[in-house]
Chains A and B, each alone.
Chain A
Amino acid sequence: MLAPVEKLLKDFDAGTTFALARAVSIVENQRPGVDDILASMHPRLGKARRIGITGPPGAGKSTITNLLTREFRNAGLTVGIVCVDPTSPFTGGALLGDRVRMESIALDDGVFIRSMATRGSLGGLASTTREVADVLDGFGYDRVIIETVGVGQSELDVARTADSTVVVLVPESGDSIQTLKAGVMEIADIFVVNKADRPGADRLRNDVELMLGLRRGASYGNMPAHHGVDLKRAMNPARAAREDAKLESPDKWTPPVLSSIAAKGEGIKEIAESLDRHFGYLERSGELRQRRRERMVERVVEVVEKRMRQRILDADTVAWVKGRVDELESGSVTPYVVADDLLKKFGHLVTGATK
């Protein structure tokens, strides 16, 4: 291990903010020492509950993150926050402005806030946000909140990173067709309709509940017969979803649809309570362990992909491919043939062998 990294990890274990911040930077920038830091984190992982907050731009994610953090702090819990904002594809620069909404927790010793730029990643998080969350977990925070960039419909990385995902919507988020679409609407463990004092909030809530009810099969088509069937439930999927969301069932979770007015601090307690209930469900049902095990496998696959790419696609091999562009242009070989040839010729590089 590099001497500076060893020293850094020692300061990290002593709980120094500076060391934590530097460790995050090394991981974010994949600088020398990153493997040692992540290796040292690995045995400590799993203490923190990871909470993802996602939703469209301006929905109130940062404000809700701020208020949730205060809620957790009042309960005596420490909180690490990663907030992601987009990198410009044109200049590579970024304006990270989530801290503006987090003034009231900025000086709290039990809170650590880190802004990240996406740096070209398109899934709503930066490519190393998960590793940064690991570092916060390893540092010992009780809750790790991951706030995504303002998302559209298909930025779903957060669901693979967080234990519980909160999707924040606003009354302007769209009509009932939007709620039926695939993507972001499917990853929520908890829905929050923020700015609930605006017109359309009740309608949106009902649309989301209707969607959840339909997804659960509460419609006529799935009813075996009318005998013994609660027709009120069958006729009103939204109501069925609303009732199911209140159940403490060990084997199924129906996302509750909550309302909040974050600017006035209303509805935050309910979000915190729902997060507790969801985590309880994850533990009881065994899903937490299962999700975390699946993620470990995913992680290995990702690292393999990254390393293979790094090892095999360097300047030399790319030059070799360029050397065959004439054949490709004339049509005498296909890209697939060239790719296979490349793997045959340079495949040994993948295992770390030298040329």
Chain B
Amino acid sequence: MRPIRVLVAKPGLDGHDRGAKVVAAALRDAGMEVIYTGLHQTPEMIATAAVQEDADVIGLSILSGAHMTLIPRVRQLVEAQGRDDILITGGGIIPREDMDALQAQGIGRLFGPGTPTTELVDYIKDWFASREARDTAKSGT
């Protein structure tokens, strides 16, 4: 099976990238190909990179409180470029009710501080396996 490609990005203006780096390293150690784009990314930059890299998953780290704007914007931009099959997940300081609201819009699970990295690794692997299974069933091979 091919490696899962994950784009890890930090949108917005806060400069705290430790969490994003920890997650990037954990996903790498779980056998994924992690494209790390660095700090202060605009949603446009993230969407462009995700499409060019043909990423399966976008992982967003947001600690600035702007998640209700930034996350749906990224999703809208990747979908506009034909990528409606991408999982958008992430984490940061995000209140429970916002997580629920975003998930209701079709965003993947969001993780708060203190989540063991194994939890997100498993989440991404499970999501990927079920998408592959669906694709295989669809193409009838």
Contacts and interface: CB of A to CB of B under 8 A. Distances in A.
Interface of A: 4, 16-18, 21-22, 24-25, 29, 31, 87-88, 91-97, 99-100, 103, 106-107, 112-115, 117, 119
B83 interface: yes
Interface stretch (B50-58, B90-98, B108-116, B123-131): B50-58
Taking each of A16, A24, A107, which has the highest tally of chain B beta carbons within 10 Å of its own beta carbon? A107
22 contacts: A16-B82, A18-B82, A21-B51, A21-B54, A88-B28, A91-B28, A93-B3, A93-B32, A93-B33, A94-B3, A94-B34, A95-B28, A95-B36, A96-B33, A96-B35, A99-B36, A100-B36, A107-B42, A112-B52, A113-B49, A115-B53, A117-B3
A11 to B, nearest CB: 8
B131 to A, nearest CB: 14
B30 A99 contact: no
Given A31-B2, A117-B33, 15 more contacts: A17-B52, A18-B81, A18-B82, A18-B83, A21-B51, A88-B29, A91-B30, A95-B28, A96-B35, A97-B35, A99-B49, A100-B38, A106-B48, A107-B45, A115-B33
A129 to B, nearest CB: 14
A114 B48 CA distance: 11
Residues of A contacting B: mostly: mixed
A94 B38 contact: no
Closest 3 CB pairs of A and B: A93-B28, A100-B38, A21-B54
Interface residues of B, number: 29
A112 B2 CA distance: 22
Given A17-B81, A21-B54, A117-B3, A93 B48 contact: no
A100 B37 contact: yes
B81 to A, nearest CB: 5
Contacts of B2: 29, 31
B44 interface: yes
A96 B49 CA distance: 12
Nearest to B35: A96
Contacts of A18: 51, 81-83
A21 B51 CA distance: 7
Contacts, number: 82
A96 B34 contact: yes
A114 B36 contact: no
Contacts of B24: 95
A24 B54 contact: yes
A64 B30 CA distance: 31
Given A21-B53, A106-B45, A113-B52, A99 B37 contact: yes
B80 to A, nearest CB: 10
B27 interface: yes
Given A97-B36, A100-B37, A114 B31 contact: no
Contact of A21 (B32, B33, B52): B52
Contacts of B3: 92-94, 117, 119
Contacts of A95: 24-25, 28, 34, 36
Interface string B40-72: 001011001101111000000000000000000
Contacts of A87: 33
B52 to A, nearest CB: 5
A23 to B, nearest CB: 9
Contacts of A93: 3, 27-34
Taking each of B2, B37, B45, which has the highest tally of chain A beta carbons within 10 Å of its own beta carbon? B37
B90 to A, nearest CB: 18
Given A99-B38, A103-B38, A22 B54 contact: yes
Contacts of B54: 21-22, 24-25
